[in-house]
Chains A and B, each alone.
Chain A
Amino acid sequence: QITLKESGPTLVKPTQTLTLTCTFSGLSLSSTRVGVAWIRQPPGKALEWLAHISWNNERYYSSSLKSRLTITKDPSKNHVVLTMTNMDPMDTATYYCGHQRYVNAWYPFANWGQGTLVTVSS
């Protein structure tokens, strides 16, 4: 069974850097063909895809947020970390991590974490 869990601060100040961790079990980013992505959802609004990292270290980012995002993995700890710089109140959202598998091509997100709400306020 694959499980994912997001963790990080619930409150950050404007201009600060946000660091979120996705901890997973039931999959390995070191050898199996999987990917982990971050998606966010402002309160009452739509889902927004942010970033993806794969087992072979391919990384993709949202076009509009690329300059502020970094995604990394630590397979030994079953972690994927997302950092977002220069936080703004508009970045207030629930942040999810999701798992994708790769079998000749990428599959969509069959497994999601429960999400973590991050509020940006001074």
Chain B
Amino acid sequence: DIVLTQSPDSLAVPLGERATINCKSSQSVLYSSDDKNYLAWYQQKPGQPPRLLIYWASTRESGVPDRFSGGESGTDFTLTISSLQAEDVAVYYCQQYYSAPYTFGQGTKLEIK
């Protein structure tokens, strides 16, 4: 199974500042035939199901603010919020959909400092 390890486990950032969450995959999730990384990011607020933010490691889902961006370098992935807003307080998960079982990272809790 592909193991996704997120860091840090929790993060506190001042409003308006940049927040960066990392996700490291135990193996490549790059599909050679389309040159895409099968890695997604979700945001989950208390009492709600997860919301898809990013797929193909860096493509924003429709309706997601452009302060959210995804980066990739080999088996290392990042989710960056360029200017943290109060409504961004949540737990963020990465997920690989390259090969079943489609595993999730352990989550990163993002708070306001």
Contact = CB atoms under 8 A, between A and B. Distances in A.
Q: Check if A and B associate.
A: yes
Interface of A: 37, 39, 46-49, 52, 60-63, 96, 98, 100, 104-110, 112-115
Contact of B31 (A61, A100, A105, A109): A105
Interface in B52-76: 52, 55, 61
A46 B92 CA distance: 10
B50 A47 contact: yes
Contacts of B87: none
Interface of B: 1, 31, 34, 36, 38, 40, 42, 44, 49-52, 55, 61, 93, 95, 97, 100-107
Contacts of B34: 104-105
Contacts of A115: 49
Contact of B49 (A37, A105, A108, A113): A113
Given A108-B40, A110-B61, A49 B104 contact: yes
The SS class assigned to the B binding surface is: loop
Contacts of B40: 108-109
Contacts, number: 62
A37 B104 CA distance: 13
B100 A60 contact: yes
Contacts of B38: 105-106
A43 to B, nearest CB: 11
Contacts of A106: 38, 97
Given A60-B102, A109-B50, 13 more contacts: A46-B106, A47-B42, A47-B95, A47-B104, A47-B107, A100-B97, A105-B34, A105-B36, A108-B52, A108-B55, A108-B97, A113-B49, A115-B49
A98 B52 CA distance: 11
A107 B49 contact: no
A73 to B, nearest CB: 16
Contacts of A48: 104
